[in-house]
Structure 1
């Protein structure tokens, strides 16, 4: 079922039965290292978190990315694919490649500079030849835009998707992702005009709680409905905290939420305490150089289910 009604979503959500053997967090993660890291002007056209006037340090970005891979290994195995100088800002693979048990989904990026990432034969081969995953390739579908888990936040424990419509995901893309990830229920909604991806305004915490930036949604009833689905176990972000990427976080275990140093520094003691009450410690990695490209920690992490 796909719905854009908050009322229909809550009714359908309440009727869901538990998924047998579903994993709330990924069994492994993969990253794509920066290579000659730089900012893509084409991506900046609809990514308001980018500032093309900023200078970037490719070596610093590479060091921060390496530190991220080392840190995440505390929660799960992490694989890092080498970067490609032909796609110097391709450090956010979760938009291009996504997984569900037994399948690899390849997204349809909006911008040509990022569409090239979907052509990587090594990543395709890793999943197809080594892991034996079936491939669902949306990259050649010209009638849709589907930037995977940038646009679609998935509650893996329940098979529920939260899909924000914007320049980076149209209704056809939402329908294609609902099918590709084999979801039982997808709640579609429009993001605020200034937003490009759902994963900067919403984080699900191992299917138990949420981090939400309410101003990132066009209809205020939408974030309220999402919070209600999780028993109002939500940490609400201010616009400044959202801008610091506090909504771009990830759980790779049931006990810890990862976010950038900048994001965590924006949280109040009360918010950190609330996360602790929900069972999550906050751990951080400095990604200040990579964040200049308009994404943060969650954007860097591809999940393997």
Structure 2
């Protein structure tokens, strides 16, 4: 099922057991921020991106190395070198994703990011080292920026796809099929929002973080929150601190940036604790000037 009808989606979703696959990834990979700089094309529709004077390549590299060290506490985490001609390449989850031993390559909206999908080393690692099959969506015309646009409940096989310039309805259909999902809910993001994973996170199939003002229709956000036993409803200020750009890489921990964690109130931490999550964070203040945060940096291996 792929639909805009929230009532039909949630009626179907209620019958989906958490047996679709592992709720969290078995490993992760990053791409180093080599050539870290402002990508003017990406800035056209990413309101979270700072001005060029906020970009410090040395500091971004140091933050990124610490991120890899920290995430390695939860699961094996490798890092590919960056490309100085691809300044957004440190956010590989928009370009590469996996599902059940399959590599999925997305179609980016902006040409400056489309070149990332052509990396033979990353494709070859999945093909020749891991033996993954490949589904290549990068050469068709419809934008589908993978787990930036599509937030997935991996335990139940459910997708939540926010439509914007970065993903249209056909792109969403292609991703739904590539991931083999049971059901995907389509909804419009609010004007100015570029990716769902800034305003929504599903944590190990048990909890959600959701910011209603990032949705064109806040009722959709509330319906998603109501579908989970543990729901943290984020404020606009917390969204701007990237609290929604979080990820569970194990059953017991949720990762976010230090700025995001500092934006959480005690009651918010209690919601996450009740869901069984410890909050872990890394200082990414320089990386966040590029308009993404911790979850954007992480490509998951399933």
Q: Which has the larger displacement, 187-196 or 50-59?
A: 50-59
SS at match of 1:68: helix
CA distance in 2, matches of 1:73, 1:197: 26
CA distance in 2, matches of 1:89, 1:155: 26
Give the aligned partner of residue 243 of structure 2. 246
Q: Among residues 200, 220, 223, which one is paired with 1:222 in the alignment?
A: 220
Shift of 1:18: 4.0
Residues 82-110 of structure 1, C-alpha deviations (whole Å, 9 max, x = no match): 01111123110000000001100000000
TM normalised by structure 1 equals 0.97
Q: Which has the larger displacement, 22-31 or 214-223?
A: 214-223
Shift of 1:180: 0.3
Q: Is this contact kept in 1: 2:261–2:279, CA < 8 A?
A: yes
RMSD of aligned C-alpha atoms?
0.9
CA distance in 2, matches of 1:39, 1:289: 12
SS at match of 1:298: helix
Give the aligned partner of residue 110 of structure 1. 109
Give the aligned partner of residue 187 of structure 1. 185
Give the aligned partner of residue 155 of structure 2. 157
Shift of 1:16: 2.0
CA distance in 2, matches of 1:146, 1:87: 18
Query: Across the two proteins, how many residue pairs are aligned to each other?
Result: 302
SS at match of 1:36: coil
Q: Which has the larger displacement, 45-54 or 93-102?
A: 45-54
CA distance in 2, matches of 1:59, 1:16: 46
1:262 aligns with 2:259: yes
Give the aligned partner of residue 65 of structure 1. 64
Q: Is this contact kept in 2: 1:41–1:52, CA < 8 A?
A: no
Unmatched segments (≥5 aa) in structure 2: none
TM normalised by structure 2 equals 0.98
Give the aligned partner of residue 147 of structure 1. 145
Give the aligned partner of residue 197 of structure 2. 199
Q: Is this contact kept in 1: 2:103–2:132, CA < 8 A?
A: yes
